[in-house]
Amino acid sequence: MVLKHFLPNEHVKTIFDIKPERLKQLGVKGIITDLDNTLVEWDRPSATPKLIEWFDEMRKSNILVTIVSNNNEKRVKAFSDPLDIPFIFQARKPMGMAFRRAIAQMGIKREEAVVVGDQLLTDVLGGNRSGFHTILVVPVASTDGFFTKFNRLVERRILNWFRKKGKIQWED
């Protein structure tokens, strides 16, 4: 495994920093986004009003969105259905199958999609290895589900290494 696979193409503070105008400039037609701690806190069952607005903004700009989550069907469906947003649960990121399924469903090419998420070990690694443009967001909550806790320790070390090498400038 190559460490550069953990380096996202971009880094933003929150999902709301991802704007349709910018995506259009990049030729992006679709967003593949993680759910837990990317769109909302991992333990928040449904979207916030601000997030609903964000989805509407994307819809108006003809930017497609698919939620791709490693979480179970119950969680992902209950969150996505009220928003009328397509989703893939138990995605098994960092494996790339779910990303490929998402672009096939959206009818777009890999170069026309971005992969967004809060974790280096699943979202960024998976997206990079499958050749997607990746955007890392700061986790919405400072707490994590049980399995994510371990990933965070590893992530911390990778981020520190990148920081030392001057590959990333942001602080968190």
Q: Does 34 bind Mg ion (CB under 5 A)?
A: yes
Q: Does 144 bind Mg ion (CB under 5 A)?
A: no
Closer CB to Mg ion, residue 43 or residue 53? Answer: 43
Name the one range near Mg ion by CB under 5 A: 3-11, 22-30, 35-43, 100-108: 35-43
As to burial, measured by CB atoms within 10 angstroms (0-12 exposed, 13-18 middle, 19+ buried), residue 58 is buried
Closer CB to Mg ion, residue 37 or residue 80? Answer: 37
Site for Mg ion in 99-118 (CB under 5 A): 118
Closer CB to Mg ion, residue 29 or residue 114? Answer: 114
Q: Write the DSSP assignment of 46-85 as a string of letters.
A: S--HHHHHHHHHHHHTT-EEEEE-SS-HHHHHHHHGGGT-
Q: Write the DSSP assignment of 2-61 as a string of letters.
A: -GGGG--SEEESSGGG--HHHHHHTT--EEEE--BTTTB-TT--S--HHHHHHHHHHHHT
Cα gap 118→37, rounded to integer Å: 6
**Which residues touch 68 (CB under 8 Å, ≥6 apart)?**
32, 33, 34, 87, 88, 91, 93, 98, 99, 102
| Nearest distance in Å: CB 37, Mg ion | 4
| Nearest distance in Å: CB 68, Mg ion | 10
Closer CB to Mg ion, residue 37 or residue 130? Answer: 37
Of the candidates 8, 36, 132, 135, which one interacts with Mg ion according to CB under 5 A?
36
Q: Does 155 bind Mg ion (CB under 5 A)?
A: no
| Nearest distance in Å: CB 40, Mg ion | 10
Closer CB to Mg ion, residue 37 or residue 66? Answer: 37
- Binding positions for Mg ion, rule: CB under 5 A: 34, 36-38, 118
